[in-house]
Structure 1
Amino acid sequence: MGPVGWEVARPRGVGRVAGVAMAGFRVPGVEAGGLRVVPHPAVMLIVEFGPGGSVVEDAAGRAQRGSLVAGVGFGAGGGVRGRGEDVRCVQVRLSPLDAPRLLGAPAGELGGAMTALEDLWGPEGTRLRERLAEIPSWQGRFAAVDALLARRRAAPGARPAAVDPEVAWAWHRIVAGQGRVRVEELAAEVGWSRKRLWARFQAQTGLPPKRAARLVRFDRAAHRLVTGGAPARVAAAGGYADQSHLHRDVMAFAGVTPAGVTAERFLAVDEFAWPGAAGAAGAPGAAGAALTRPPAAARRSRPGR
C-alpha cells in the first residue's frame, strides 16, 4: 500500500521488453482540486480497467477520460491535473527511443501532450482494457501488458522508423550525465551540427536536447527534495548555478516552489511504484542497449571509410 491510501503494486521479475517499467494503482478518490501531474523524462502509458474512471485536464482546459498516452515531460508548467473515483490502472513508463515500435508512433509526434490510447492502438487498446478488467491479480495484469508490448515489438509489417543512432546516443548521454551535458558537446560527439541535432532530436523524442537535459536534471532534483534534501545541497549536487537557479527550474516544470514540490503525491508514490528508479530518468531513460561510442566514431572505424 502506497501513500495517501493508494494501493500500489509492482511486477515481480523482469519483463520481456527492455527499458519498460510498470506499476499498478488503485486510487479510491481524488479531491475536487485534482492531483498535479509532475513531468517525467519518459513516455507515459496509462491503461484504465476499473469500474471508476479518471479525467486528466491540461492547462488549456483539454480533457482526456480513461486510458491515455502522454509524451515526454507531460505536465510541464504544473497545469495538468487528474481527478477521479475508484481509479484502477496499469501505468507504463518507457523511453522515447522505444516509442516507435511499442506505440506505433514516434515520441516526437506526442510532444508533451496526451492522446487517447485507442487513437494509437484502435481496437487493440480496447481489448487490452477489457482483458485487464477480467484478470483478478496485479501480476496477471502486468503479464498481459508485457505480453502485448512484446508482440508489438516483434510484429512484422510497417512500423515507424527507429530513432537515429545519433539521437539515441544523445539521449543516453543526457540520462547518464543526469542532465549536465552541453548540446555543443553532444553534436560534436555524433558528428552533427548543433542545428541538425536540435531538429532531429526534437522530432524523434518530443523535446529539444537542451530542454530534455533540463527535464532529467529537474527529475533528479525533485526526488532529492522529496526525500528531504536541503534545496542548497540539492542545487549544488544537481549542477545548478545556485539555489535560485534550482528554484526557477522547479517552478518552470512543476509550477510550485522547491518547498512545495515535496508535497506532490505523484513524486511520493514513485518510491513505492519505481523504487530506485527516480532521478536519472529511471529505468526507461536508460532503455535499450547503451551505445559504447559515438556514432561518428563508429562510422570512422568501419573498413573502407
Structure 2
Amino acid sequence: MHTFTHGQALWDVACPRRPSPVAGVTMAGFRVRDLDTLRMVPHPAVTLLLEFGADSPVLDCAPGRQQRGSMVAGPGFGSGGAVRARGENVECVQVRLSPVIARAVLGASPADLDGAVVSLGDLWGRESSRICEQLGDVSSWQDRFALTDALLARRHEAGPTVDPEVAWAWQRIVVSRGLTRIDGLAAEVGWSRKRLWSRFRSQLGLPPKRAARLVRFDHAAHRLVAGEGAARVAADSGYADQSHLHRDVMAFTGSTPATVAGEPFLAVDDIAWPSRGATAVPHVAGDLRLGRRRSPLGGHPLT
C-alpha cells in the first residue's frame, strides 16, 4: 500500500504484485477518505470501476446528471473537462481495459458506451453486485486483485473478439504514441479505408483519427505532469507548435497545459500504474501488412 498526497488530498493506493494474466488489463486499488472534486482526464482505455466501500463514489457528468457506484466508461471519457468525481470513504478497484479486449470483457462494444459512463449493473446485472460483495468480503488487496483477474479472465475467454486487422491498427497507433500515418493503416492491412474506419469505430468505440489524437494527448499530458516544458512536449509529441498542444489539451480537459500538469488524476499514475509505459496489449495473430500474415507481433505498450 502506498500513500499519494496531492495538496490536501490523501489517498491509499495498492498495486498488484504481478501482471494480469489477461493481456491488456491493468488495475489498481484506491482507498480515499475524502475525494474532493477530482477532474476526470480522458484516457485511451476503457475504465471499469468496482466499488465496495462504505459509500459510493459519485460522478457529476453534466448539469443534473450523476452516476453512482460501480461503472464503466469508454475511451476518452471526460473530454472537455466537464466530468468530476467526488465521494467519502471510497474504496474501489479501478481497471483499465485495452479497447481491443473490452468488448469481450464487457459483453458489449465500447461503441455502445458512446463516450459516456454507464452503470456496471446495466451491463452485467447480478454479476456486478456479486463481484463487489466478494471484494468487500476479503481484507487483502492482493486477494481483491486475484478475484478481479479471475472474473475478467472468465469473461474474456467467453466473449467476442475484435477483428485482427482492427487490433493490429490499434496496436500501431499505440506503439507510435499516436504518430502513425492513419490514412496508411487500411492499405497495410489490405482493407478499404471505409471498411477499416467502420470496423474500428464499431469494435473499439472511436474512429482511428480520434484514437491517435487521444493516445498522443495522453503521452503529452504525462510528460507535462513529469515537469517537462510545454514547448518541448509539443515538439517531441508531434504537435505543429505549442499553440497546437494548447488547443488539444483544452479540447480534452477544458484547461491549459499548466493546469493539467497538476491534475491528481494524472499525477497518481506513477504510483497506481508503475508499469504504465510497459503494459502489454493483446497479441495480434500475425503481421497483416498488405493482407499477408507473417511472424507474430509481440506485445507493445498501452499509453
TM-score by length of 2: 0.91
1:138 maps onto 2:141 in alignment: yes
Following the alignment from structure 1 to structure 2, what is the Cα–Cα distance between the partners of residues 237 and 294?
29
Matched letter for residue 169 of structure 2 = A
Q: Secondary structure at the match of 1:53?
A: coil
Select which of 103, 108, 114 maps to 2:106: 103
Q: Counterpart in 2 of 1:298?
A: 292
1:277 maps onto 2:242 in alignment: no
8 Å Cα contact 1:169/1:295 also seen in 2 = no
Following the alignment from structure 2 to structure 1, what is the Cα–Cα distance between the partners of residues 19 and 264?
26
What percent identity do the matched residue pairs reach?
A: 61
CA shift for structure 1 position 190: 1.4
TM-score by length of 1: 0.91
Q: Counterpart in 2 of 1:77?
A: 80
* Structure 2, unpaired ranges of 5+: 296-303
Q: Which moved more, 1:290-299 or 1:81-90?
A: 290-299
Q: Counterpart in 1 of 2:298?
A: none
CA shift for structure 1 position 196: 2.2
Task: Rate the CA distance shift 1:253–1:120 in 2: closer, same or farther, 3 A.
Answer: same
Q: Deviations over 1:234-268 (max 9, x none)?
A: 00110111000100111111111000101111001
CA shift for structure 1 position 295: 5.4
CA shift for structure 1 position 296: 3.7
Select which of 4, 13, 17 maps to 1:8: 13
Following the alignment from structure 2 to structure 1, what is the Cα–Cα distance between the partners of residues 293 and 19?
33
Q: Counterpart in 2 of 1:43?
A: 46
Following the alignment from structure 1 to structure 2, what is the Cα–Cα distance between the partners of residues 290 and 257?
37
8 Å Cα contact 2:42/2:253 also seen in 1 = yes
Select which of 65, 69, 78 maps to 1:66: 69
Q: Where in structure 2 are the equivalents of 1:86-101 lying within 5 Å? A: 86-101=89-104
8 Å Cα contact 2:34/2:88 also seen in 1 = yes
Q: Where in structure 2 are the equivalents of 1:21-32 lying within 5 Å? A: 21-31=26-36
Q: Secondary structure at the match of 2:123?
A: helix
Q: Which runs of 4+ in 1 moved over 3 A?
A: none
Q: Secondary structure at the match of 1:179?
A: coil
Following the alignment from structure 1 to structure 2, what is the Cα–Cα distance between the partners of residues 228 and 43?
27
Q: Deviations over 1:114-146 (max 9, x none)?
A: 111111111111000001111101111111101
Q: Deviations over 1:34-65 (max 9, x none)?
A: 11100100000000001022111213542110
* Structure 1, unpaired ranges of 5+: none
Matched letter for residue 171 of structure 1 = W
Matched letter for residue 259 of structure 1 = A
Q: Counterpart in 1 of 2:117?
A: 114
Q: Secondary structure at the match of 1:245?
A: helix
8 Å Cα contact 1:202/1:209 also seen in 2 = yes
Matched letter for residue 232 of structure 2 = R
Matched letter for residue 255 of structure 1 = G
Matched letter for residue 30 of structure 2 = F
Q: Secondary structure at the match of 1:97?
A: helix
Q: Where in structure 2 are the equivalents of 1:119-268 lying within 5 Å? A: 119-155=122-158, 159=159, 161-268=160-267
Matched letter for residue 14 of structure 1 = P
Matched letter for residue 76 of structure 2 = G
8 Å Cα contact 1:94/1:287 also seen in 2 = no
Following the alignment from structure 1 to structure 2, what is the Cα–Cα distance between the partners of residues 146 and 270?
20
Q: Quote the RMSD (CA, aligned, Å).
A: 1.7
> How many residues are aligned here?
290
8 Å Cα contact 1:72/1:111 also seen in 2 = no
Following the alignment from structure 1 to structure 2, what is the Cα–Cα distance between the partners of residues 276 and 135?
26
Matched letter for residue 19 of structure 1 = G
**Highest relative contact order (Cα 8 Å, sep 6+), 1 or 2?**
1
